[in-house]
Amino acid sequence: MGSFWDFCAPFYDLAEKMNGRAYENMLKTVQELVPDGSKVLEIAAGTGSVSLAVANKAAEILCTDISEKMLAVAKKKAKKRGIENIKFDNLNIFDTKKPDNFFDVVIASQILHLIDNPEKAAFELRRITKSMTVIPMSLIKNLRGTAKFNLAVYRLFGFSPKIEFEADSYSDFLKNIGFTDCEMIQIAGKIPMAVAIWRKE
């Protein structure tokens, strides 16, 4: 998986902009969810767009990804914008080595459909958050038109999700891996998106 994301790093932001309005609305939604002064983890951050979007609200952010090339792009973007409250690192989603309730907010965007054993990852994400886990996802099942074509091109280069979702099946998937009683915010677009919010009692 790492080599595919390394390959995508130089043009990943351009690919996200192809779903422009939905992606921007997702970023705005996540930003609004993060309480002021929060300690935030973003896991599977890609080029760091979500971390950058919440940086003005978070006290500190740990931005992580398996791809060093993705993180290199994220670091350049943060430096260019003068953002200094973000640290960058690699982190194992199955075993973060962090104490219970270490982060106020954990953000896991576009990752749980790509990995084997998402139940184990979900357990770890719930364990290390004090307040909430935010789980944005693109709903790529049954796409049509240009969105379907763009997805097909991604597949040619190695994009291989374990499962694809529409809104109802995404909600069911989260319940099945332990994220029960999620709030779900749906976002319209060429590729629809959903932001799931699991709150820790």
pLDDT for 129-152, tens place per residue?
999 999 999 999 998 888 888 888
Asked whether residue 6 carries a pLDDT value surpassing 90, the answer given is no
Q: Compute the average pLDDT of residues 152-164.
A: 83
Q: CB of 110 within 8 A of CB of 80?
A: no
Taking CA 75 as the corner, what is the angle to CA 198 and CA 27, rounded to the nearest 5 degrees? Answer: 35
pLDDT band at 2 (very low <50, low <70, confident <90, very high): low
To the nearest 10°, report the CA torsion of 13, 73, 164, 138.
Answer: -50
- The highest-confidence range among 16-30, 155-169, 177-191, by mean pLDDT, is 177-191
Nearest-angstrom CA–CA distance, 76 and 78: 5
Q: What is the structure's pLDDT at 64?
A: 97
Q: CB of 134 within 8 A of CB of 107?
A: yes
User: 2-199 — its CATH code?
Assistant: 3.40.50.150
How long is the chain? 201
Total-model pTM: 0.94
Q: What is the structure's pLDDT at 1?
A: 47
Q: Where in the chain are the domains?
A: 2-199
